[in-house]
Amino acid sequence: MISLRGAAPPVQFGVAVGALSAAAWLETFVTGLSGHPALEYPIFDRLFIFTDDWGAALQVAIVVLVALSRDIRSLGARLAVAIGERPVLTAAAAFVVFACGAKFAYHATPFAMDEYAQLAQANAYAHGKLSWTLPPDLLDRLIPSGFRSYFFAVDPISGRVASMYWPGFAALLTPFAWLGLPWLLNPLLSGATLLFLYALVFRCVHSREAAGWAMLLAIASPEFTVNAISYYAMPAHLLLNLLFAWLLLDARPLRAFAAGLCGGLALVLHNPVPHALFALPWLLWLLWRRNRWPALLALAAGYAPIGLFVGFAWPAYLASFSAPNKIASTAVAATSAWNLLTHMLSGAFKLPSYEMICARMYATWKIWIWSAPGLSIIAVAGYRVVRGPLRLLAASALVTYCAYWFVPLDQGHGWGYRYFHTAWGVLPIFGGAFIAAEPLGTRTGMAWREWVGGIAFASAVLATSLRFAQVHEIIGVHLAQRIEAPSRGRWIIFVRYEAGLYTWDMIQDLPYVSAPLILMSLGDAADAGLMASRFPDATRTLDDERGSLWRLGDTPEYSTTR
């Protein structure tokens, strides 16, 4: 138990949060002093400089607002108690908000190629296919060479295409893609995540109030709420990792087997690194236990069906794209899968360069800026409150954070620090435990609840609104670089590479979906030649700096997917 005397610590907390948020804003300002126009920065730096500055400034404003308004502080404290008494209703309400955000703020569309690759694969699954086939002569217009063997496996001879990501998240997306509602998956997963945050805290500290605080602190963090409306696999990672931890808190064989099933699915969601880092401290803890073998064997048996089978079967399948005539036997397929797997993982970790050190420093600020103001502080303090294996969550978060300093990617697109999102749940869990640990009847206990509650309530309303508005504008500006086809008729859209930034990301032709066909322009003459040969009755109705729009007649060949 943390014992704090008097009202000074909560007030000092507010001052510290304001100061650190101001420092975060200063970091975004200094980073942008080069004077380059916003569009000249790489996407990761641009989002940090030109969107996170508003997030950091808002955190300072929230602290000032809460300090001046006793009503906001009181309302926030009561809200946490109410959430603790009604977790299912809270999760359901959050799901509705997330669903509306996914539909309207996120434009119900995958923004980055990471998101589109998963949705395209899910559409293939929804039609009973492991891959889809594109005309080989159109591959350069549909999938650029830089995306091949990175986002997509492509057979240049037959035109077969599949996502390079492990297939777990696409499989979860499949029923939603079949219904035409793929944007609903992450809101649903995130609503369920709130319930497991509640379950983890309540199981370990036996306090509905603490569990309510954990839910409120998550809802108050744009890191959680914005990823909840995206198409990224991170919300699924977070949910499965929390479920994995919840099952292993009581590591009896049956629960360990169930944890292995969850872990196996987490390994193949999109790549195995996020769950492997999260699970490492839990595996070491099981090895340390005196009666370790029943739980370890049960856990391994749980991992095997999905983690091992899919973990080798999918790389073997992708290996057949580049050497279709060589995958002729089980032994050769296994060798090809192992070679592809080791090749993919061999480049996952490298000594960080100066640029990557800078990127990780920015990412560390993002953990602060995208969470409820001060959440990192009370989470660290909460480590002293929790007991037992729940403390392993801190080790999972630390391993995840440290390991990604050696991953040679800055994450590119993404909201908050998405590489850390798989273990981010430790922050609201420990934060909730800390707040509820101080006795309610004491002056200090009430002061902590009022300060943190007021900050969390204001952040849930203001920070989420700001971030949803930013996401809506960023994706809207991106989509505006492409000509929109009318809702009726059959259309082909050519996108000019020089039309703007990340124009290749706008070439999103979902398999087996009847929609305007989007192709990359290779120049006006080449585009006109293609249309004359393939669609002789097509008419160009629009031509501007973004590209061109063609209306098709009665030509039967329309969709590129076979």
User: pLDDT tens across 467-476, in order?
Assistant: 999 999 999 9
Sign of torsion over alpha carbons 516, 522, 523, 527: negative
What is residue 2's predicted lDDT score, i.e. its pLDDT?
Answer: 41
* Strand runs labelled E in 116-210: 132-133, 152-154, 160-163
Binning pLDDT at 50, 70 and 90, where does residue 41 land?
Answer: confident
Rounded-to-integer distance, Cα 22 and Cα 6, Å: 26
Q: What is the pLDDT of residues 483-530, one digit of tens each?
A: 999 888 889 999 998 888 888 899 999 998 877 899 999 999 999 999
Of 97-106, 273-282, 319-328, which range is least confident?
Answer: 319-328
163 and 30 share one domain: no
Is 298 a member of any domain? no
pTM: 0.93
**Would residue 171 count as lying in a domain?**
yes
Q: What is the mean pLDDT of the chain?
A: 89
210 and 124 share a domain? no
Local confidence band at 443 (pLDDT 50, 70, 90 cut-offs): confident
Residue 108 Cα distances to 102, 229, 231, angstroms: 5, 9, 9
Tell me the pLDDT band of 33, cut-offs 50, 70 and 90. Answer: confident
- Quote the tokens at residue 466: 């700001």
Q: For residue 555, is pLDDT > 60?
A: no
DSSP 137-154: GGHHHHS-GGGBTTTEEE
Q: Does residue 428 share a domain with residue 359?
A: yes
pLDDT tens sequence across 152-208: 999 988 899 999 999 999 999 999 999 999 999 999 999 999 999 999 999 888 889
The answer to whether residue 319 is domain-embedded is no
Rounded Cα gap, residues 240 and 507, in angstroms: 31
Has residue 105 been placed in a domain?
A: no
214 with 79, same domain? Answer: yes
Number of domains the chain is built from? 3
Residue-number span of the structural domain to which 157 is assigned: 113-180
pLDDT category, 1, cuts 50, 70, 90?
Answer: very low
From 180, 202, 219, the end of a domain falls on 180
Please indicate, yes or no, whether residues 255 and 366 belong to a single structural domain of this protein: yes
In a domain, 340, yes or no: no
Take residue 36 and report the two structure tokens written for it. 């380059």
Choose one of 155, 180, 205: the last residue of a domain.
180
Q: Would you place residue 146 in the very low, low, confident or very high pLDDT band (cuts 50, 70, 90)?
A: confident
**148/245 same-domain check:** no
**How far apart (Å, rounded) are the C-alpha atoms in residues 319 and 317?**
5
- 258 and 159 share one domain: no
507 lies in some domain = yes
Q: In the listed set 146, 162, 180, which residue is the last one of a domain according to the structure?
A: 180
Query: Where residue 6 falls among pLDDT bands split at 50, 70, 90?
Result: very low
For the stretch 268-296, pLDDT in tens is 999 999 999 999 999 999 998 888 899 99
- Residue 387 forms part of a structural domain: yes
pLDDT higher at 34 or 452: 452
Kindly state whether residue 51 falls inside one of the protein's structural domains: yes
212 with 163, same domain: the answer is no
Find the DSSP H helices in 220-352: 222-227, 234-248, 253-267, 273-288, 292-303, 309-322, 330-346
pLDDT confidence of residue 518: 93
Phi, psi (deg, nearest 5) at residue 195: -65, -35
Query: What was the pLDDT predicted at 7?
Result: 44
Which tens digits make up the pLDDT trace of 352-393? Answer: 899 999 999 999 999 999 999 999 999 999 998 888 888 999
Q: Please indicate, yes or no, whether residues 119 and 253 belong to a single structural domain of this protein.
A: no
Q: What 3-state DSSP class applies to 410?
A: coil
pLDDT tens for residues 219-244?
A: 999 999 999 999 999 999 999 999 99
CA–CA distance, 337 with 82 (Å, rounded to integer): 51
Residue 8's pLDDT is what? 56
CA 408: distance to chain centroid? 18
Burial call 312-334: b when 16+ CB within 10 Å, e when fewer: bebbbbbbbbbeeeebeeeeebb
Tell me: do 419 and 431 sit in the same domain.
yes
- 75 and 208 fall within a common domain: yes
Concatenating the DSSP letter of every residue in 319-360 gives HHHH-TTT--SHHHHHHHHHHHHHHHHHTS-----HHHHHHH
319 band by pLDDT with thresholds 50, 70 and 90: confident
117 shares its domain with 91: no
